[in-house]
Amino acid sequence: MNIRPATTADAPRLIAIWEDSVRAAYHFLSEADIDFYRPYLLAGLVGGEVWVAEIGNQSAGFATLVGENVLAMLFVAPAFQRHGIGRGLIDHAQALKGPLTVTVNEQVDGNITFYEKCGFTITGRSETDDAGNPYPIVFMVQNR
C-alpha cells in the first residue's frame, strides 16, 4: 500500500469511494440524505489535508485531516475493506499529527469497534450529527 497526498485529479475517484462506502454501510441514509451530505464531503476534500491509499495504481481509500489532529473523514472502498487500508491511513495520520480525535457515526456497524482497535476511546456522545440530523455520533480520542 502506498499513501500519498491527494491531487485535484483524485476528486472523482474519492467521491466514488465515499458514495460506495456510504451506500454499503450507512443503511439508515436515503439517497436524499446522501445528496444532502455530498457538499460536506466536497468541502472536506477542498478544505482538508487529504491522503490517498493506493493498492497498485488504484485508489482504495482516503483520509482527511483538519486542524491540529482531527481525522475528519476516513473512507475505504468496499472492495478494499478489511485489508488494513483504514488502519494504514490512521497510522499515517497519527505519525503526521500525533494522537488523533474523530467523530464517529454510531449507527454504522463496526465503526466504533474499528476505532477502538486503532487505539481510540469514547469521550462523549451526541444524539445528532454536526448537521443537526438524528444520527447519533460518538466523539473519540486516540490514546497512543
Burial class (CB in 10 A: 0-12, 13-18, 19+), 112: middle
The CATH number that applies at residue 100 is 3.40.630.30
* Per-residue pLDDT, 92: 97
Q: Across the beta sheet with 101-105, what order do the strands follow?
A: 2-5, 49-55, 58-66, 70-76, 101-105, 137-142, 120-126
| pLDDT tens, residue by residue, 46-74 | 888 999 999 998 999 999 999 999 999 99
Burial class (CB in 10 A: 0-12, 13-18, 19+), 14: buried
Residue by residue, pLDDT tens for the chain (144 residues) are 999 999 999 999 999 999 999 999 999 999 999 999 998 888 888 888 999 999 998 999 999 999 999 999 999 999 999 999 999 999 999 999 999 999 999 999 899 999 999 999 999 999 999 889 899 999 999 986
Number of domains in the chain: 1
Separation of alpha carbons 126 and 142, rounded Å: 19
pTM for the whole thing?
Answer: 0.92
- Mutual angle of helices 31-47 and 11-25, in 10-degree steps: 140
Domain interval for residue 57: 2-142
Strands 49-55 and 137-142: unpaired
Q: Using an 8 Å Cβ cutoff, are 89 and 2 in contact?
A: no
Q: Which three cell numbers stand for residue 93?
A: 495520520
